Amino acid sequence: MRHIKPTKELRVAKTMSDLVNDLTLDLEQVGIYLATNNGISYRRIQMIAESAKHEREEAWREISID
């Protein structure tokens, strides 16, 4: 089994995943805060979401080709 070195990006992704998976966290309130208080954070999170969507679509495309 291959061990992936925990890069800064991997650690951030894991932390973000852990935070949003907390079912007691009101994601709508988080979104409201981001949209109204910090435009830069909103745009960067939007970039992350678009990148994740692209990767997921590519993974599904590869599965459907096989």
In whole angstroms, what is the distance from residue 47 CA to residue 45 CA?
A: 5
Mean pLDDT, the chain, whole residue set: 89
Give the model confidence (pLDDT) of 2-28 as tens digits. 676 889 999 999 999 999 999 999 999
40 Cα distance to chain centroid: 16
Would you state the pLDDT for residue 63?
Answer: 81
Q: What is the pTM of this model?
A: 0.72
What pLDDT is recorded for position 57? 93
> What radius of gyration, in Å, describes the C-alpha atoms of the chain?
15
